[in-house]
Amino acid sequence: MANIHTPIPLLKLNDGTSIPMLAYGTGTAWYKPPSVEESKIDRPTVEGVKTAIKLGYYHLDGAEVYKTEPELGLGIKESGVPRDQLYVVTKVNQNIADIHSAIRASLKKLQLDYVDLYLIHQPFFAEGSEAKLQEAWAAMEQVKADGLAKSIGVSNYYQSDLEATLATAKVVPAINQIEFHPYLQHGGLLEFHRKHGIATSAYGPLTPATRSKGGPVDEYLGSLAKKYAVTEGEILLRWCVDQDVVTITTSGKEQRLSDYLRSMTFKLTPTEVKEIKDLGEQKHFRAFWQNKFAADDKS
Ligand SMILES: NC(=O)C1=CN([C@@H]2O[C@H](COP(=O)(O)OP(=O)(O)OC[C@H]3O[C@@H](n4cnc5c(N)ncnc54)[C@H](O)[C@@H]3O)[C@@H](O)[C@H]2O)C=CC1
Ligand SMILES: O=CCc1c[nH]c2ccccc12
């Protein structure tokens, strides 16, 4: 991979492959609501993907549930960048009961032969059944064995979901994609990931500067933004990367996407990383899947 001109570094995964540490997402700002037909191509979404690739984003995050796989595939095709220079991720959600068909349907929509990373989008489908988590993971292992995904992983898994999965896994999940920012640090989950060689990726990384502004990290983020001559958002992206956490953001604004790339060109000191961590722990905020995680859950 990678002749593409980009400042985004790679992180080595437990299966020997490497993942770009900053990704462009095609969910949140872009997903099609239930009223919109998936087959109706949304040109702004296609153009968003092309802009991201043009700027140097080569890790592209998609999902079955966003209904934007056709736009992601078209954006990749129209970008003219060779497939092997891009890192494409998608996730299974609705068709979790038939992962074999789900990956094939996703690849068809993406117009690709394989994805770099395929994720189980959430563990809630299993309703607490370890057997269901294990059965789904065995199907993911088959996807990898069939060459349809180079790496396989999970998303929104608790430690207990990972423990159940690992109990019968032949392949250790490469990554757990979770909501991660100073107001949602998940207690010991990242340490558990490290112990088992599972990488962490963060969605919603800008949350303290966007969805949950007005909190204990504001002032300190402001002072670091001044010090490094960047925005508070870029400090938050860097805070993830400096903890070896792959980070996924998005925007329809080219200038913002371009600015985010600056976060790949400086480094916070260990003291600054810790200060943001400590300040962030004074507040708890979860932006996604609130109706699925227990109301009092902070992990
Ligand atoms: N696995 C999962 O369950 C989930 C995965 N994701 C993935 O992660 C990607 C990124 O997620 P986000 O939460 O959107 O990332 P994010 O926390 O980086 O937020 C990006 C959003 O913040 C907005 N923004 C940026 N700067 C702003 C400012 N100064 N003021 C106001 N708004 C500002 C952007 O326009 C964009 O809509 C998604 O597109 C999707 O691919 C997202 C949610 C759940
Ligand atoms: O993956 C992000 C959060 C999410 C969960 N369900 C949906 C449906 C449509 C867009 C985003 C999401």
Contacts of 283 (CB under 8 A, 6+ apart): 182, 183, 212, 215, 216, 217
Q: Is the pLDDT of residue 2 over 70?
A: no
Give the residue, by CA position, lying nearest to ligand 1 atom 35: 251
pLDDT of residue 5: 81
Q: Is the pLDDT of residue 54 over 80?
A: yes
Do the domain assignments include residue 46? yes
Q: Is the pLDDT of residue 15 over 50?
A: yes
pLDDT digits (tens, 9 = 90+) for 256-291: 999 999 999 999 999 999 999 999 999 999 999 999
- When the pLDDT of each residue in the chain is averaged and rounded to a whole number, the result is 96
Q: Is the CB–ligand 2 distance for residue 119 below 6 Å?
A: no
Do the domain assignments include residue 2? no
Report the percentage of the chain scoring pLDDT > 90. 95
Rounded average pLDDT over 4-8: 86
Range of the domain at 154: 10-205+245-251
**Whole-model pTM?**
0.97
Do the domain assignments include residue 261? no
Q: Is the pLDDT of residue 295 over 90?
A: no
* Residue 241 CB-half CA count within 13 A: 29
Structurally, the chain folds into a number of domains equal to 1
* Mutate which of 65, 72, 122, 156 for ligand 2 pocket (most atoms within 8 A of beta carbon): 65
Report the percentage of the chain scoring pLDDT > 70. 99
pLDDT of residue 45: 97
CATH code (residue 158): 3.20.20.100
Distance 36 CA to ligand 2 centre (A): 15
Q: Is the pLDDT of residue 3 over 60?
A: no
Distance 32 CA to ligand 2 centre (A): 10
Distance 25 CA to ligand 2 centre (A): 11
Do the domain assignments include residue 192? yes
The answer to whether the CB of 24 falls within 8 A of the CB of 51 is: no
Ligand-binding annotation for 121, yes or no, is: yes
pLDDT digits (tens, 9 = 90+) for 185-215: 999 999 999 999 999 999 999 999 999 999 9
pLDDT of residue 297: 75
pLDDT digits (tens, 9 = 90+) for 27-49: 999 999 999 999 999 999 999 99
What single string gives the DSSP state of each residue in the chain?
Answer: ---S-----EEE-TTS-EEESEEEESSTTSPPPTTS-TTS--HHHHHHHHHHHHHT--EEE--GGGT-HHHHHHHHHHH---GGG-EEEEEE-TTGGGHHHHHHHHHHHHT-S-EEEEEE--SGGGTT-HHHHHHHHHHHHHHHHTTSEEEEEEES--HHHHHHHHHH-SS--SEEEEE-BTTB--TTHHHHHHHHT-EEEEESTTGGGTTT-SSTTHHHHHHHHHHHTS-HHHHHHHHHHTTTEEEEE--S-HHHHHHHGGGGS----HHHHHHHHHHHTT-----S-TTTS-TT---
Q: Is the CB–ligand 1 distance for residue 210 below 6 Å?
A: yes
ipTM above threshold 0.85: yes
Task: Please report which ligand is nearest the Cα atom of 212.
Answer: 1
Rounded average pLDDT over 217-226: 98
What's the token pair of residue 172?
Answer: 């250790």
pLDDT digits (tens, 9 = 90+) for 134-173: 999 999 999 999 999 999 999 999 999 999 999 999 999 9
Q: Is the CB–ligand 1 distance for residue 45 below 6 Å?
A: no
Q: Is the CB–ligand 1 distance for residue 153 below 6 Å?
A: no
* Mutate which of 90, 248, 250, 288 for ligand 2 pocket (most atoms within 8 A of beta carbon): 288
Do the domain assignments include residue 260? no
Do the domain assignments include residue 73? yes
**Residues carrying an active site annotation:** 66
Do the domain assignments include residue 5? no
Q: How many CB atoms lie within 10 A of CB 205?
A: 28
Distance 156 CA to ligand 1 centre (A): 16
